[in-house]
Structures are given as C-alpha cells and as structure tokens.
Amino acid sequence: MELVVRKNDLLRELQLFQGIVERKNTIPILANVLMEAMGDQLSFLATDLEVGLRSKCAASIAKSGALTLPAKKFYEIVKSLPETDIRIAEDKGGVKVAADRFDSRMQTLPREDFPTLPESGGASSATLPRSAIKEMVEKTQFAITGEDTRYFLNGALFVLRPEAMSLVATDGHRLALVTVTRDGKPDDAEEVKAILPKKTLGELARLLQEGDPACSDAGLRTPDFVIRRVQPRASVPGRCCVRRRRAASGSRTPSGRSPADPRSAC
C-alpha cells in the first residue's frame, strides 16, 4: 500500500477512534486501526468487540492495499506533524510514514488477524433526525448502570416505530424515557428494538456533537444495528459508525466469541 493524504483529513478521522481502541488489551490487534486504500479513498475500521467504527477520507492512492497500525501511536505522530501531505507506504514488514523532513517506520500486525465485522444486508432502513437522536442520548445516558453483574442494564433500549421512536434506560432505581415523534412510511410497520451499550451511546453522542453541520440526519438499518450519518454534500468526507452488530453465521473474533457476546466486551 502506498498513498498520500492531507494531515488534517487523516487527523480528523484518527481522532474519532481514540475513544474505542485501548493501549492495554489482551488481544493486541484490537489496539490497531485497519486502513484500506482503494480508488481515491482511505477507509478506516476499529473495534473493541463491543463498539465498532468505520470512517473514510479522500487520499491520493498510488498502490491499493490494507494494513493495521497502532491507533493511538499513529494519532500522536500525525498530530505532531506540520500541516502538509503525509506519505504512507509499506516497507519491509513495516510501514513508513513521512512528511517534509520527518521520516518514521512503524511496526504493523497482520491484516488477517483483525476481526471481521458482519455486513448487514436485506434489512429495512430509516432516516432519523440527528438533533432528535442527540437529545435522546443526552437525556438517558445518566440512568445507565455500570454493574457488571447486570450487563443487560449496561445500555439503553432503543425502540423504533413508524410514528415514534423511544430510548429508555434504567439502573434499577431510576428510569429515563424519551419519546420523539417521527414521520414513518406506511410500509414501516415492523417495530425495531435494540439495546445500545453505554459506550456505544457515549461514542454516538460525541460523533453527533462533533459532526459537520451538513450532516442533518442519521440513518438506521436493522436487524444488524447500524447508524450511518447522512451526507447531503458530496464534498464532505463520509463517515459510518457501526454499533452493536450481530455476528454473521460462522463469524468469529480473535477471542473465539461473537462480537455481540457481552462477555467479549473489553
């Protein structure tokens, strides 16, 4: 893989993953971000087996390919560089990162070791107001419990109906419920329910807070729960945040567990 990308574009995308990846992890590959270069776009993927995030930005691709890099270390290097073009290329089992007079070589882990997130297909979808989702998350986060013994309460229940959508959370002592009306299509007769983990809601709230003003809506696709930010302007780099998805048949993470298994959460 060989490419050139603007520092600000790369830094903006890497910053999104800092709340997901962790330095200290029993599975080393989960501390890395997967980068895939193809066409004129550089795609990113990171997960902790509970929350996953996909993103992409524009880049000048000389050679397509895929590799993984330590997410936090790579972010710190890019952040310290001046505003210029950054060159990234595979080099003898490692990755060479260069910009102006800066030249560094980073170790990488095999791309094959990175867990595969299942792709949703044949599912219904809906477009939801971004401001409404943001308000719902802000008003229910406080009621989510942090007890490991009651993991089913470590999240909020999201209910989507044709005429309304609700988010409810409780820790056994207090309960928060927010319901917002929506204009659903007549064929949206199926009620959709999904439990969103506390970390998922935290990352979702941050993404909606930091999002581009052009992203006025967020999409929802089921049964694999996916939230996708809608980009009205083609010039704005697209981002897709993936949340709490069920494993496809036969899909396994490096730990041997399904990404949706609560015991798999880091």
Query: What pLDDT does residue 255 have?
Result: 43
Query: What pLDDT does residue 3 have?
Result: 93
Query: What pLDDT does residue 167 have?
Result: 93
Query: What pLDDT does residue 195 have?
Result: 85
Task: Tell me if residue 250 falls in helix, strand or coil.
Answer: coil
151-160 tens-digit pLDDT: 778 889 998 8
The tokens describing 81, both together, are 């560089």
Query: What pLDDT does residue 119 have?
Result: 65
Query: What pLDDT does residue 91 have?
Result: 83
Residues of the chain falling short of pLDDT 70: 118-125, 184-189, 210-266
Query: What pLDDT does residue 34 have?
Result: 94
CA distance 46 to 198: 18
Q: With beta carbons less than 8 A apart as the criterion, state whether 204 and 143 touch.
A: no
Q: Give the DSSP H or E segment for 51.
A: strand 51-58
The tokens describing 109, both together, are 């882990």
Global pTM exceeds 0.85: no
Question: What's the full length of the chain, in residues?
Answer: 266
The tokens describing 253, both together, are 């993470």
Query: What pLDDT does residue 226 have?
Result: 60
What counts of helices (H) and strands (E) characterise the chain? Answer: 4, 17
